[in-house]
Structure 1
Amino acid sequence: MKSKELFWMRLKQEWEHRFRTIKSIVDWTVFVYFVLPATVISFFIYRSWWLEMPNWMDGVPIQLLALFFLLLWGDHFHTYVREADRIFLRKNKKLFLQLKQWGIIYSYLYQCLSVLGVGIAIGPFWYQHFQLHTGDFILFSGLWVSLKWLIMAIKGKWNVQVRGWRSLLRGIPFFIGALIVWGLGFQFFLQQNVGWLLLLIVFNTALSILFVRHRFTSVHNFEQDLTIDELEKNKYTEMIFQLSLDIEKQSRSTSNRIKPRLYTRSNRLFKTRNEKTGYLELFIKAITRNSQYILQYMQIISVTAAAIILLPPVWLKITVFISGAVFLLTWVGNMWRRTVEEHPFVRKYPMEIGFFQAKRIVTIASLIPFIVIVGLLVVIRIFLFTHIPNL
């Protein structure tokens, strides 16, 4: 079998796996009553945007396009290796390397198609509201996709199994560096500095090829390639399962520690022992021991704060704040259901007054950091805008 045939076979298997996962949660009733109506309604709304811009777009600045930075993360370069390749393909070096090369080329092209899809989605706003042209879109897309290639290439050189504080320490400088490059390129785009923008695009692309080159010219990083492909394969499955309310989605632990880092001796958090404090202690320990839950909570706050800062109309800021608060409360309710209501020990006892008291405390306590952090960032933004008018 040739490498091209092997690649297309595995690519087909990957997409079949995604469709099977979707079909496992989207049955015919969900499709008929939710997916199909939503698709039809979305089409007519999208068509109306081409005919006339909605009123809520009035006053929205072009700087809002900077939020595309949030879409740069989460992907890797695929090589489409499998566990069984350890035995057969590694002995056939030429076939093995060509398979990886096809996979990486496909990853490059797939990101180009993804930015094209996003461009079609925002087309009405791009041409009708911001009054930009196709050439502007090509430059903006080149900046976005080249930086994404670079991020994917750098992440491919890291040990993707590293989690916890080590991943945080490694990721913060990386995030800041990518933000600086994105801010510089976006400034070139706003100023129509085509020469410097093209130079930055070429630099990002060349650097990504340099970083990823070792992956398709060597057979000695098989374990890394296998781990990345398994991560990408499971990512779509977990993302789709997150959309299903009927499937329990407890996070899979990636740590080999025997004891948790927090409450290693199951320390009591409250001196008073009653139903309310028992439920609270169960919820607090379950949430704080799971880094994914903490990350989701911070993402809700950060996205809401960024949208409030960037959107100029006051009524739109208020709408975003209310929507963020409602979404946060929905998320907290879902976390409470997972960690408390469906806990095997809790199911043995009826939900009495202590249960509802604890849930109310959790709801209020989760809103306080949200209000404080978002309010503080807005105040800082107003202060900087007042003292630095060109900001």
Structure 2
Amino acid sequence: MNGIQLLCIRVKQNWTYQYKIMKSVVDWTVFVYFVIPLTVITIAIYKSWWEELPNWIHNISFYWIFIVFFLFFWGNHFRTYVKEADSIFLRKNEVLLLHMRRWGIIYSYIYEIVLLLFSFVFIAPFWFQHYGYNLHQLLLFGGLCLSIKWVIMGIKGKLNVEVTGWRTLISGIPLLLGTILVWSFCYQAFINNQIAIILGITITLTIVSIILIWPRYKDNHRLEQDLAIDRFEKTKIIDMIFSLSMDIEKMPKRYSSRKSPVTFSKSGRIFNRRTPKNGFLELFMKVNARNIQYITGYFQIIGITSAATIILPPMWLKITIIIAGSLFLLSWINSLWDKILGNHPFTKKYKNEEGYFAGRKQLTIVLVIPFVIFISLSMIFNIWIRSKLPFI
């Protein structure tokens, strides 16, 4: 067995693992009644775009193509498909391990190319018919996208993927700002048809990505970092499913050995009036404030819904997103309330009390108010920016 054959086995095992995860989420009823109809509708809509462009595309500036593909940069690493046992068994065969890791990096390069090609198939009707660009310019644009993403993947490969929280945010800010500056410069060069500059940027960034990945390519001394990256990439989908589902019990996280929590350390009373409803609300507020996952989930719902109302052009689609976001928020609040109070050993015996339902109703009203405010501000901002920038 050589390195390519071993890599093919590992890649097949990885795709089988991801397939089992998706299969556990999308059962046959969801597949038959949702996935298949959605696929058929998507193909029919895409075919209609080639025959006649939708009206909403005339309000979309070419600048939004660059904004959408900016999101393409974030995600994925250069993977080598190593496993924990490789540090013991394959250490006896350094050449086989090194060849597999090298072909894994090459596979990561090719995978990003294929992924970008699928994205180009989606935007092809607008690229050729609406914006009037040709295939040569599409290839130049693809080179820019790939080179920037490869550099970001190379930089992320040097960061500790197991570090989370505020440290990840701090380490990611310079990378985000640098990418915005480079991508903005690329946009100006592209719309001005500066082919030499575009080629120069693409070649330079591709070489930079090779330099960044070269230490992992040439030897087996960075096996621990490769193992961390492989664990992160292998489980990121199931981690996302777990974080979105309130019915799945999360794995316990390691906390610092503090004698008291940061928030409500003295556990004082929040409400002076002691009623069953206030008791439930007070307990919920303290538990929720001490767990950043719950707070983050709430702001993610608001942020995603607000961003969708700004970015998506058709009004009917904005309204659909707002309705879906509202229903999801209500479901999320009820699930979180039941998870914290309804399933806890000390409070679940009171879940049929009037105060339990009164507290949940008041909490729902309080949490829905910021949601409505942010959505309203998003709609106002959308109307304002379109009045100032009619080409958007």
Determine the structure 2 residue equivalent to 1:41: 41
Q: Decide which moves more: 153-162 or 212-221.
A: 212-221
Contact kept, 8 Å, 2:61 with 2:391, in 1: the verdict is no
DSSP-derived class of the 1:122 partner = helix
Query: Which one is further off, 307-316 or 258-267?
Result: 307-316
Distance 1:323 1:33 in 2: 18
Give the total of aligned pairs.
Answer: 389
Alignment of 1:166-315 (within 5 A): 166-239=167-240, 248-259=247-258, 260-264=261-265, 266-308=267-309
Report the CA distance shift for 1:77/1:85 in structure 2 as closer, same or farther (over 3 A): same
Q: Which runs of 5+ in 2 are unaligned?
A: none
Provide the residue aligned with 1:20 in structure 2. Answer: 20
1:277–1:135 Cα change, 3 Å: farther
The residue that corresponds to 1:63 in the other structure is 63
* C-alpha distance in 2 between matches for 1:124 and 1:389: 22
Contact 1:25 1:241 in 2 (8 A): no
**Residue 40 (structure 2) pairs with residue 52 (structure 1):** no
Instruction: Give the counterpart letter for 1:170 in structure 2.
Output: S
Rounded to whole Å, the distance in 2 between the matches of 1:323 and 1:97 is 49
- Aligned partners of 1:115, 1:363: CA distance in 2, in Å? 42
Percentage identity across paired residues of the two chains: 44
Deviation of 1:82 (Å): 0.5
Q: Is the 8 A contact 2:56 2:313 kept in 1?
A: no
Q: Which residue of 1 aligns with 2:111?
A: 110
Shift of 1:328: 4.4
Q: Matches of 1:24 and 1:319 in 2, distance apart?
A: 27
SS in 1 for 2:144: helix
Give the Cα separation in 1 of the matches to 2:113 and 2:62. Answer: 22
My pick for the range that moved more, 340-349 or 204-213, is: 340-349
One-letter identity of the residue aligned with 1:225: D
Distance in 2 separating the partners of 1:78 and 1:71: 17
Q: CA deviation at 1:355?
A: 3.2
SS of 1:58's equivalent in the other structure is: helix
Q: TM-score, normalised by structure 1?
A: 0.84
In the TM superposition, what whole-angstrom CA distance separates every residue of 1:279-303 from its partner, at most 9, and x where no partner exists?
Answer: 3334434443343444444444444
Secondary structure of the residue aligned to 1:205 is helix
Shift of 1:77: 1.3
Structure 1 pair 175–30 and aligned structure 2 pair: CA distance change class (3 A): same
Q: Which residue pairs with 2:2 in the alignment?
A: 2
Following the alignment from structure 2 to structure 1, what is the Cα–Cα distance between the partners of residues 199 and 87?
41
TM-align CA RMSD: 3.4
- Distance in 1 (CA, whole Å) between partners of 2:388 and 2:59 is 22
8 Å CA contact 1:146–1:201 kept in 2: the answer is yes
**Alpha-carbon spacing, 1:300–1:73, altered in 2? closer, same or farther (3 Å):** farther
Instruction: Provide the rounded CA distance (Å) in 2 between the counterparts of 1:95 and 1:365.
Output: 60
SS in 2 for 1:359: helix
**Deviation at 1:226?**
0.7
In structure 2, relative to structure 1, the CA distance for the partners of 1:171 and 1:99 (3 Å cut) is same
User: Cα distance, 1:352 vs. partner?
Assistant: 3.9
SS of corresponding position for 2:219: coil
Return the alpha-carbon distance in structure 1 between the equivalents of residues 204 and 268 of structure 2. Answer: 53
Contact kept, 8 Å, 1:61 with 1:311, in 2: the verdict is no
Q: 1:137 and 1:332, CA in 2 relative to 1: closer, same or farther beyond 3 A?
A: farther
Q: Secondary structure at the match of 1:284?
A: helix
CA contact under 8 A between 2:80 and 2:102: conserved in structure 1? yes
Q: In the aligned structure 2, how far is the partner of 1:180 from the partner of 1:87? A: 44
Deviations 1:143-164 (A, max 9, x none): 2222221111111111112122
Provide structure 1 residue ranges, at least 5 long, that are not aligned to the other structure: none
Displacement after TM superposition at 1:208 (Å) = 1.6
Q: 1:330 to 1:199 in 2, by over 3 A?
A: farther
Relative to structure 1, the CA distance from residue 315 to residue 17 in structure 2 (aligned partners, 3 Å threshold; closer, same or farther) is closer
Contact 1:308 1:320 in 2 (8 A): yes
CA deviations 1:341-375 (Å, max 9, x no partner) are 44444432234443343334433433444455566
Name the residue aligned to 2:134. Answer: 133
Structure 2 residue aligned with 1:161 = 162
Q: Distance in 1 between matches of 2:125 and 2:267?
A: 56
Q: Tell me the distance in 1 between the aligned counterparts of 2:281 and 2:164.
A: 27
Q: Deviations over 1:303-333 (max 9, x none)?
A: 4554555567888777766665555445444
